[in-house]
Amino acid sequence: MVSTSKRVQSIVEIFALKGIKNIVFSPGSRNAPITISLTSDKRFNCISIVDERSAGFFALGKALALNEPVVLCCTSGSASLNYASAISEAFYQNIPLLILTTDRPPEWINHGEGQAINQIDLYKNSVHSSFNLPIGEQEEDIWFTQRSVNEAIINASSNNSPVQINIPFREPLYDTIEKTSFIPNTFSVLETEKSISLESISTLANIFNHSKRIIILCGQMNPNKQLNYIINEISNAPNVVVLTESTANLDGYKLFPCIDRIITSFTTENLADFEPELLITIGGAIVSKKVKHFLRKVKKLTHWSIQNNEKIEDTYQHLSLKIPVEPNLFFRTLFTKINFETESNYYNNWLERHLITTGNHEDTLRKIEWSDLKAFDIIYNTLPDFCNLHLGNSSPIRYIQLFNQIGTINYYSNRGVSGIDGSTSTAIGFSTENEKLNVLISGDLSFMYDINAFWNNYLPANFRVILINNSGGGIFRIIPGPSSTPALENFFEVGNNANIEAISKGHDLNYYKANSALEIEQNLEAFYEEQDNKRPAVLEVFTPKEINASVLKQYFETLF
């Protein structure tokens, strides 16, 4: 059975012809015509998640794992507003989503009818484009619908971005007919690879080879073996320093992870030895505030941003050139013209600091008392090979940057907007499309904020949560400002009194807890092996909020 609406039939058939497969619904009435048609069609994988906010992040995780557009579909009104957080994250992280917001008839918008808000351009600041479909079923309406849906899919796929399709419906909503043969019009855009002219690459290579101090700063990216290889080759140049973060998913013995560890050891006397002349940035968000402040203070700096998208971001206040190609293509083209005999001590300057701070890091971790940092040390050293590590925002993503990259592990985090509101849902959505063990390290507030992530029928057995319970908002004792105000405990660091054990068991999750280094070590092996029981698991790690910040402060003081 399908909806009687030819507009809906057009949408369904175009989705199928364009290879759209995964649909995440949230229950409602206004989206009934689409729900009936898509769920009765075996060409689509349809699931239902009640909470629209969780559904949005769940779809985002799926799209991230699949590297293809995933469809979100909800009823009219406030339901659509609940997608906004996930859509903004997808926009800034360059993840393709197709958002179908079903709507009331236009004559009833803002005229007292229930769930009849203005949904046109609802997400205009967080999507590549928006389409408002006609409500009629005449020949021109069907042509307009087909044209719009084709364009929406192309925009989402080609630009790796969310796109809204707003679809108004009049009642009746549940009328159906037997499925008939229906072939809509489709069109495509020929995908071509952008390139750099020989003249341009020669000019860039000349600047590169005459620069004695070059930093290649790598932000958030999906794993890419070809890029990893060419970056490691370029890192052999003595004038090149490659700085990476965990979510860059790059690994190599000459790359420098743990940016904050190294920069903390700089002094005013030696700072000039580390300042670059040329900065090349690739990837998305950078976690480290220290490297941002460090680069912004360099007086004379040329910055090339290598980003294959339409965005222009001057994060370091020195932007000189935007090069809109894939980083892999840029570096492969540049590599053939690099002079690896350039005289420079730049790499060695950074290597010296890296070796010193790494030694001090290891010495300190052997001695520190039970705290967030000690817990992360144990977790880091016991992570299973070849797992996917998902990191919640605030403390977890920052702590993990203090540890070297593990080449067998892929790292993910919602760093597009860096909110705490959908980390669990995103990680679960990703896990449903990836057979590896997926481990999320979350703070207690982030876990509770997204507790509806477990309110669905699709929880995968390969999902684990390590919950760092430092009694809420530990980040506010670490960052400058909040810790010095009397409002800290009541308005910034809000204590979490939730019974995580009862909540976990209520969602049929296996539960473990640890109050010390010994307990966490004792529980981790069984925690990771829970896959045999076909249920996800939660390990709640209790740490003392009163000393976590002071332990971290002392840690940084030992790196000098």
User: Domain of 273: which CATH number?
Assistant: 3.40.50.1220
For 120-148, how does the pLDDT look when each residue is reduced to its tens digit (9 = 90+)? 999 999 999 999 999 999 999 999 999 99
Q: Are residues 113 and 22 in the same domain?
A: yes
Cβ distance 404 to 259 under 8 Å?
no
Q: What are phi and psi of 529, to 5 degrees?
A: -85, 5
Q: How confident is the model at residue 182 (pLDDT cuts 50, 70, 90)?
A: confident
Q: Strand 240-244 relative to strand 97-103: parallel, antiparallel, unpaired?
A: unpaired
Q: How confident is the model at residue 5 (pLDDT cuts 50, 70, 90)?
A: very high
CA–CA separation, 314 and 320 (whole Å): 9
Q: Are residues 116 and 202 in the same domain?
A: no
Mark which of 325, 351, 377 sits at the end of a domain. Answer: 351
Q: Are residues 255 and 300 in the same domain?
A: yes
Q: Are residues 305 and 435 in the same domain?
A: no
Q: Are residues 410 and 528 in the same domain?
A: yes
pLDDT over 70 at 480, yes or no: no
In-domain check, residue 363: no
What integer pLDDT is reported at residue 176 of this predicted model?
A: 87
Q: How far is CA 78 from the centre of its chain?
A: 25
DSSP states of 494-522:
------HHHHHHHTT-EEEEESSHHHHHH
Overall pTM surpassing 0.75 (yes/no): yes
In-domain check, residue 78: yes
pLDDT, mean of residues 108-121: 90
Q: Are residues 323 and 386 in the same domain?
A: no
Q: How many domains does one find in the chain?
A: 3
Query: If you search the block for the tokens 């910055």, which residue do you land on?
Result: 303
Q: Are residues 338 and 432 in the same domain?
A: no
Q: How far is CA 427 from the centre of its chain?
A: 10
What integer pLDDT is reported at residue 489 of this predicted model?
A: 59
What integer pLDDT is reported at residue 355 of this predicted model?
A: 96
What integer pLDDT is reported at residue 94 of this predicted model?
A: 96
Q: How confident is the model at residue 483 (pLDDT cuts 50, 70, 90)?
A: low
Mark which of 351, 379, 412 sits at the end of a domain. Answer: 351
pLDDT over 70 at 549, yes or no: yes
Q: Are residues 145 and 210 in the same domain?
A: no
Find, among 48, 47, 39, the residue nearest to 12 by Cα: 39
For the ranges 188-192, 375-379, 506-510, the lowest mean pLDDT is seen at 188-192
Q: Are residues 344 and 295 in the same domain?
A: yes
- Domain with 67 in it: 2-175
Percent of the chain at pLDDT exceeding 70 = 95
Cβ distance 466 to 379 under 8 Å?
yes
What integer pLDDT is reported at residue 482 of this predicted model?
A: 60
CB burial of residue 482 (10 Å; 0-12, 13-18, 19+): middle
Q: What are phi and psi of 505, to 5 degrees?
A: -70, -30
How high is the mean pLDDT of the chain?
A: 94
Q: How far is CA 482 from the centre of its chain?
A: 26
What integer pLDDT is reported at residue 479 of this predicted model?
A: 59
Three-class SS state of 279 = strand
Q: Strand 70-74 relative to strand 97-103: parallel, antiparallel, unpaired?
A: parallel
pLDDT over 70 at 532, yes or no: no
Q: Are residues 167 and 32 in the same domain?
A: yes
Cβ distance 247 to 413 under 8 Å?
yes
CA–CA separation, 434 and 448 (whole Å): 24
For 53-78, how does the pLDDT look when each residue is reduced to its tens digit (9 = 90+)? 999 999 999 999 999 999 999 999 99
pLDDT over 60 at 476, yes or no: no
Q: Packing angle between helix 139-159 and helix 6-17, nearest 10 degrees?
A: 30
In-domain check, residue 85: yes
For 223-261, how does the pLDDT look when each residue is reduced to its tens digit (9 = 90+)? 999 999 999 999 999 999 999 999 999 999 999 999 999
Strand order in the sheet with 438-443: 410-413, 388-391, 438-443, 463-469, 537-542, 510-514
For 328-375, how does the pLDDT look when each residue is reduced to its tens digit (9 = 90+)? 999 999 999 999 999 999 999 999 999 999 999 999 999 999 999 999
Query: If you search the block for the tokens 């020989």, which residue do you land on?
Result: 198
In-domain check, residue 245: yes
In-domain check, residue 382: yes
Based on its alpha-carbon atoms, the radius of gyration of the chain, rounded to whole angstroms, reads 25
Instruction: Find the CATH number of the domain harbouring 152.
Output: 3.40.50.970
Q: Strand 176-177 relative to strand 2-3: parallel, antiparallel, unpaired?
A: antiparallel
What integer pLDDT is reported at residue 529 of this predicted model?
A: 86
Q: How confident is the model at residue 192 (pLDDT cuts 50, 70, 90)?
A: confident
Mark which of 175, 190, 215 sits at the end of a domain. Answer: 175
In-domain check, residue 100: yes
In-domain check, residue 168: yes
Cβ distance 256 to 354 under 8 Å?
yes
296-303, Cβ contacts within 8 angstroms, sequence gap of 24 or more: 301/275, 301/276, 301/277, 302/207, 302/211, 302/277, 302/278, 303/278, 303/279
Q: Are residues 373 and 406 in the same domain?
A: yes
pLDDT over 90 at 161, yes or no: yes
What integer pLDDT is reported at residue 478 of this predicted model?
A: 56
In angstroms, what CA-CA distances link 47 with 28, 35, 133, 455?
14, 10, 24, 13
Q: What are phi and psi of 234, to 5 degrees?
A: -70, -30
In-domain check, residue 477: yes
